[in-house]
């Protein structure tokens, strides 16, 4: 009998990815876009872990996930710094406020 854990994990990973994609597509707030990006990367990381478990390559999957987490931290820090600057210039953290910062 096949182990249902990888299939269940991939299902949750797809749900995380879809939720993150929805948050990015809504584009109302920069915070929501950043959280959507973080949720999407968690779905990708969960997919790698499930695939590593299914293929008996957990060490390789963990190394890839650690790399994904390190990249995600750098992206989140850069995005938060940019959001702080947008808030200082406009007073709001809204996607529409970025369009007024041309120049």
The DSSP H or E segment spanning 39 is: helix 30-54
Domains of the chain as residue ranges with CATH: 5-97 (1.10.287.3510)
The Cα angle at residue 9 between residues 46 and 42, in degrees rounded to 5: 25
Specify the pLDDT at position 93. Answer: 86
- Average pLDDT on 3-14 reads 88
CA–CA dist 49, 65 (Å, integer) = 7
Q: Which residues contact 6 (CB under 8 A, 6 or more apart)?
A: 50, 51, 53, 54
- Average pLDDT on 81-101 reads 84
Residue 83 vs residues 7, 23, 103: alpha-carbon distances, Å? 37, 17, 18
What confidence tens digit (pLDDT) does each residue in 41-62 have?
999 999 999 999 999 999 999 9
Q: How confident is the model at residue 1 (pLDDT cuts 50, 70, 90)?
A: low
């Amino acid at each position: 009998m096949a182990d249902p854990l990888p299939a269940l994990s991939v299902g949750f990973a797809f749900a995380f990815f879809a939720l993150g994609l929805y948050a990015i597509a809504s584009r109302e707030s920069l915070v929501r876009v950043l959280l959507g990006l973080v949720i999407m990367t968690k779905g990708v990381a969960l997919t790698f872990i499930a695939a590593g478990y299914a293929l008996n390559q957990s060490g390789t999957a963990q190394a890839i996930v650690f790399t994904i987490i390190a990249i995600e931290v750098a992206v989140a820090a850069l995005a938060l710094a940019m959001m702080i600057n947008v808030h200082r210039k406009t007073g709001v953290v809204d996607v529409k406020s970025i369009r007024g910062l041309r120049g």
